[in-house]
Structure 1
């Protein structure tokens, strides 16, 4: 019986492989890309500077955007675009056209990267489609040869690079194919969602002091194709839905006061119902009314607690960008020479894992199986027991890190560079929130402070990773900040706080972390475009942070409130 069972399993697996191979062979777009890539590579070998590597990346992107403000639909738009982006590498793996420019593609006068658009009915390989691909390949090839000549000149006149790594690394040939997304998973009732979002945003009409009150839905169905001249073929799908809710008021002194909330799911059916969002919208109004009359703070240095979502953004901005491999080729290179050294307390672990679909009970936006260079995604243990171990790598190597670990990412027409995915911060010695709060009070007393700060919610941030003092800094924008007084007074909401500093200084002041992880979902914009990311972290205690007063708007709030709507 055991033997028959094994034979049955083997037959099932064999049938699955046959079906998958058949579906792959019937994918007309995949076959077209493979044929054109081979033909174009062969044709370009006749040129004076023949390419040594080429790849095609195609995005079949269907996106629905619906937005509502104060109970009225502002936009209901559906787009379906199939776009092609070639990459051509001229020279060799030691010195090529990307050597001094991570973004090897040519931007237009507005800074946007060019894409060749394939008509949705042209997947059969019509002459027009093939001609469009060849035209774009030649455009990219001409720019690649110019960049290669510049790179050769620069290599002769520049001082020797500190990093001796090649321009491009070897990678395994990958074969991965997902069948097209079923129609039922692409279906969306736009009219029903307009009604639902209008019900939610109508809540904001109840407060005349609001400057804005919006709810929006983004539903995306993305199918990507990647083929290269090494033989890699990767076809994969991604669907997600995200609702964003935002509202803002203006204080009497002109300060803008925004609050945001979002809900993320892989499928529309897993988003919360209107009742939950309406309740959250009402809470948002009440928080804004309190924030509007909160005192404005002065610059501060001292201890602080960062909530899980706040510390997630904090780690993403001041640490995550500085472990992206391509940034370590130039600029400030904050952590480049700290591999093997403590960068955090020994209890801390930090890793990036794009293969995680969920964490702490929430679905993650940074999930994928293969990156935008066709490399298999994998977990990268960046910090282990407080010690820096690895960086996030694409196929652009660094000294000591010669291989990709599946973190090459892009969107639109840009070329992939190393980017974050799902950044996770954990501690092996977690504290309860009550313990962290008590430790904050003790540290404030020790430093002679009247209070410490609690950063409950932040909206975003930016970081500068270039060379020089101010070019190696960060700025995180909090939305809700509280003073926690050492004499036992109730916590006090304050406004006008910006969290600033330099990463090494800030990291050296992290003390410990909490026992409850939180997830912050968003999109990160950098050189290669906006990519979906997630940051998860527990609450953390920092014994010294630095804040500055936020710049105020010069516009005062309206004299009259908004008209009421019945």
Structure 2
């Protein structure tokens, strides 16, 4: 579990129900020892004060809620059949710099509780249909281990939550009397075994703020030498967090998490008004494990130079032909186009498009591709994975799930919300604080049995372009954002926005950098046009936003060749570039100033 998330940059990659799911370019690998943190404490002999308060108040609420006798004019209120408390206890440091100066340097601590109350029965309760959020109430908790104060806050949140749940339950019962029969009559809540694993709280957050402020000043100051880049920010984000979960079914889980990442963002505008940006993200389990300053300087300068080149690159025309997606771009593509459509809740509900619901046991990918989701993996080939967790946000242990084997669809990503084909969770019920858990991706892993070298994959691209009488194929090096619509009311399509795209000419001309490209299509057609992959998997780490909030995710995939991909031009924009150049560093510094 990892309930608190950082959103320092709004770099979106996502899918949508009625609005886009989003992935922010950031990371949250965990748990691991922090090189700058205090040593871990031994396992406690009794639960911490916070957990004791949670356990006691939960027991009291389950005993007394709904037990009050009804008056002559009232119907007795129902007792909850399920109650849970999920508390995120997080300490955070956030530092940002721009053009060599610190713009923010903050440290804060917060505790937030999600109270979930279910009335009725697992077959049908107050979360049914459009009333799913009626089970949830969120409230800030005291930051100190004052048991009486914690209990009072939990009591108040529970009382509010019960009233909300009761209102939702009455609405569900009324609506069921007037609506037509639903397509999927599965229960609203699955039966699961309870788990107990109370680990020690996360170590205290310890970061050398002065040293990191100096490093960020140096990195952001590099952009002074690029007058065509009119905006930049370099941000360090670090947190240490412990998530607690207790429920009336007997679950008692606490898990520590450590996160550190550094994000570099730069923007410019071409002469024709098109806005362009680049992002570099560095993730680790501790600030001490982020790359050294020499590496960060080299990466930042390379990104800035590429952004200047993009500013002067030609705008591409609409294209329909062969393309290669790099491993990172391929990973984002699979997350967007496939992963969200395999989340369990997308298979039920009268508004869902249910792209793959009826395709269990049938091929939906070429037979050389398999896809799993394994949140139990902390690292892949030595690199941390943001989508790792030990328990999901419903207290269920994380599990590897083989979604697609040799192209054939096997199962879906399940929370405790059943669907017609699957009645139990497989450890993928995930949420951000303040949201109800749903089936979500963790570490999506794509493997291939039809792999070739990068050089051979390029030859195949050129051969396919010649076969189709195309003057070039496309190479997508990096992707910034995307969305796909999954509801019935809209076309079952997707759009992905690349950052770095090259034309690969069949006549041997050098590759040409282009801009203004947007990948569009429909999922089943796009996925079945994959021809081959390379022999090395790459990693995308990010934060993905959907109806259950923003959560850390990873996707791992090889580069892939598709025989046909459709692109269109991005919106160009009409805002002019700045009229006068930015001040030079010498002009901005008054004479005599240090």
Whole-Å Cα distance in 2 between the matches of residues 103 and 488 of structure 1? 57
Which one of 483, 504, 527 corresponds to residue 507 of structure 1?
Answer: 527
Whole-Å Cα distance in 2 between the matches of residues 172 and 431 of structure 1? 45
SS of aligned partner of 2:422: coil
- Per the alignment, residue 404 of structure 1 pairs with 425
Whole-Å Cα distance in 1 between the matches of residues 184 and 99 of structure 2? 55
Structure 1 residue 163, shift from structure 2 partner: 1.5
Which one of 535, 542, 546 corresponds to residue 555 of structure 2?
Answer: 535
> In the alignment, does 2:296 pair up with 1:277?
yes
Structure in which a larger fraction of residues adopt helix:
1
- Per the alignment, residue 512 of structure 2 pairs with 492
Consecutive aligned runs of 4 or more in structure 1 exceeding 4 Å deviation: none
Whole-Å Cα distance in 1 between the matches of residues 336 and 101 of structure 2? 35
> In the alignment, does 2:363 pair up with 1:342?
yes
RMSD over aligned CA atoms reads 1.4
Whole-Å Cα distance in 1 between the matches of residues 304 and 435 of structure 2? 40
Identify unmatched segments of 5+ residues in structure 2. Answer: 1-41, 68-75, 587-594
SS of aligned partner of 1:150: helix
Number of residue pairs aligned between Structure 1 and Structure 2: 535
- Per the alignment, residue 124 of structure 1 pairs with 146
Within-5 A mapping of 1:194-213:
194-213=213-232
- Per the alignment, residue 181 of structure 2 pairs with 160
The answer as to whether partners of 1:303 and 1:543 remain within 8 angstroms in 2 is yes
Structure 1 residue 469, shift from structure 2 partner: 4.5
Structure 1 residue 162, shift from structure 2 partner: 1.6
Which shifted more, 38-47 or 151-160?
151-160
> In the alignment, does 2:330 pair up with 1:301?
no
- Per the alignment, residue 538 of structure 2 pairs with 518
The answer as to whether partners of 2:428 and 2:442 remain within 8 angstroms in 1 is yes
- Per the alignment, residue 561 of structure 1 pairs with 581
Structure 1 residue 164, shift from structure 2 partner: 2.5
Structure 1 residue 24, shift from structure 2 partner: 4.9
Identify the structure with bigger relative contact order (alpha carbons < 8 Å, sequence gap 6+). 2
1:421-443 Cα offsets, whole Å, 9 max, x none, are 11111102211111111111111
SS of aligned partner of 1:327: helix
The answer as to whether partners of 1:24 and 1:177 remain within 8 angstroms in 2 is no
Whole-Å Cα distance in 1 between the matches of residues 79 and 533 of structure 2? 54
- Per the alignment, residue 374 of structure 2 pairs with 353
The answer as to whether partners of 2:270 and 2:577 remain within 8 angstroms in 1 is yes
Whole-Å Cα distance in 2 between the matches of residues 349 and 469 of structure 1? 29
Structure 1 residue 352, shift from structure 2 partner: 0.7
- Per the alignment, residue 92 of structure 2 pairs with 63
Within-5 A mapping of 1:73-88:
73-88=102-117
The answer as to whether partners of 2:465 and 2:471 remain within 8 angstroms in 1 is yes
Structure 1 residue 151, shift from structure 2 partner: 1.6
**Alpha-carbon distance change, 428 to 104 in structure 1, aligned in 2, over 3 angstroms:** same
Within-5 A mapping of 1:303-342:
303-330=322-349, 331-342=352-363
Identify unmatched segments of 5+ residues in structure 1. Answer: 1-18, 107-112
1:192-223 Cα offsets, whole Å, 9 max, x none, are 11111111111111111102122111101110
- Per the alignment, residue 440 of structure 1 pairs with 461
**Alpha-carbon distance change, 406 to 428 in structure 1, aligned in 2, over 3 angstroms:** same
Which shifted more, 58-67 or 154-163?
154-163
1:14-51 Cα offsets, whole Å, 9 max, x none, are xxxxx74xx15141111110000010111113151211
Which one of 286, 293, 310 corresponds to residue 291 of structure 1?
Answer: 310
The answer as to whether partners of 2:50 and 2:150 remain within 8 angstroms in 1 is no
The answer as to whether partners of 2:229 and 2:308 remain within 8 angstroms in 1 is no
- Per the alignment, residue 266 of structure 2 pairs with 247
Whole-Å Cα distance in 1 between the matches of residues 312 and 132 of structure 2? 46
SS of aligned partner of 2:536: coil
TM-score where L is the length of structure 2:
0.88
SS of aligned partner of 1:312: helix
Structure 1 residue 357, shift from structure 2 partner: 0.4
SS of aligned partner of 2:403: strand
Whole-Å Cα distance in 2 between the matches of residues 132 and 173 of structure 1? 25
The answer as to whether partners of 1:243 and 1:262 remain within 8 angstroms in 2 is yes
> In the alignment, does 2:253 pair up with 1:234?
yes
Which shifted more, 301-310 or 143-152?
143-152
- Per the alignment, residue 479 of structure 2 pairs with 458
Structure 1 residue 102, shift from structure 2 partner: 6.8
Within-5 A mapping of 1:32-181:
32-46=53-67, 48-101=77-130, 103-105=132-134, 115-121=138-144, 123-126=145-148, 128-181=149-202
